Amino acid sequence: MTQQQRDAVAGMLRASPFDPAGDLREQRPLFEKMIAAAPVPADVVTTGGQLGGVPVIRVDIPGTTTGGLILYFHGGFAIGSAAASVGLACDLARQARMPVVTVDYRLAPEHPYPAAPDDAMTAYRALLDTGQDAARLALAGESAGAGLAAVTLATIARAGLPQPSSAVLMSPWADLAGTGDSIKTKADVDPVITAEAVHVRARDYLGGADACDPAVSPLYGSLAGLPPLLIQAGSHEILLDDAIRLAARAAGDDVAVTLDVVPGVPHVFQAYAAILDEGEAALTRAGAFLREHASPAAAGTAGRRE
């Protein structure tokens, strides 16, 4: 884990033409092109499909699966896609030794709130309807997708549905009102996200809804009854306080939560695991966490802990 690697990643991000606050007509294809520049490993198998009518992509790595399933939500709310998330999703799948189903929820502003959480819950209910054991199911996501995962978990709890075994939230965007101090204090070191981007994309997503509504910002609602959480963030991101405050809220609501803050790395640093040791190490920890909680022993089913 070297300073050279961290500097290289930050320099690459600062030099990128992608602007998270920019015009969506330009930024969406630019983002997809940027993601496509990093090829998915040859052993990864992707299969398109639907869950309750919601488009999804299943990600499998033959020979590595030992049980369980991860339902994954990509970041962006207004930018990104299930296809663009395959690279990070397959890295997590490899470490967790589980297949991943990544959800292509509808994007704002064409489909503002509640389209994304509705799609997330539809996909979750559809998995249960197919016979998927919730105790062998986990949720995961990055950035906006991590916030969406937290909202989905809270909705599952309110609905009285079986909770998944656990969830991994990478750099969660949990406060669309943007009230965290780190939006200002980390502005000079965050090479990816700006306060303007947070404001613009939140406006796209909210469509007039209250940014402090727990249904859009999980930081403001009860997290009681949620499964064990692993929340990861970098110390060089303006959304650091979202992760810290979400972990504190979960702890206050008696949720088993682990806050994993890695110094000197940016927003969703796990996406750069190929060139950043901290990213690979964080994915290793996340995979072990998911594997532990979705194991047959943890699920109370026959079999031994993996």
Rounded CA separation 232/257 (Å): 11
Task: Dihedral sign for Cα 169, 106, 218, 190, please.
Answer: positive
**Domain extent at residue 102:** 3-299
- Say if CB 231 and CB 172 are below 8 A apart: yes
Assess if residue 304 is contained within a domain.
no
Active site residue 110: no
Q: Is 293 a catalytic residue?
A: no
Identify the active-site residue in 85, 143, 165, 182: 143
Per-residue confidence in pLDDT tens, the chain, 306 aa:
589 999 999 999 999 999 999 999 999 999 998 888 889 999 999 999 999 999 999 999 998 877 899 999 999 999 999 999 999 999 999 999 999 999 999 999 999 999 999 999 999 999 999 999 999 999 999 999 999 999 999 999 999 999 999 999 999 999 999 999 999 999 999 999 999 999 999 999 999 999 999 999 999 999 999 999 999 999 999 999 999 999 999 999 999 999 999 999 999 999 999 999 999 999 999 999 999 999 776 655 433 333
Residue at 174 is within a domain: yes
The answer to whether position 96 is within a domain reads: yes
User: CB atoms < 10 A from the CB of 38, how many?
Assistant: 12
> The domain that contains 26 carries what CATH number?
3.40.50.1820
Q: Of 66, 88, 91, 57, which Cα lies nearest the Cα of 75?
A: 88
What distance in Å separates the CA atoms of residue 50 and residue 257, rounded to the nearest whole number?
31
Measure the CA–CA gap between 93 and 170, rounded to whole angstroms. 14
The pTM of the full predicted model, rounded to 2 decimals, is 0.96
Q: Sheet harboring 54-60: ordered strands across?
A: 45-51, 54-60, 100-103, 69-73, 137-142, 166-170, 229-234, 257-262
Q: How many domains does the chain have?
A: 1
The answer as to whether 249 is a domain residue is yes
Which of 267, 278, 293, 295 is catalytic? The answer is: 267
For residue 305, being part of any structural domain is answered with no
Query: 138 lies in a domain?
Result: yes
267 as an active site residue: the answer is yes
Active-site entry in 237, 278, 293, 295? 237
**Orientation angle between helical segments 115-129 and 144-159, nearest 10 degrees:** 60
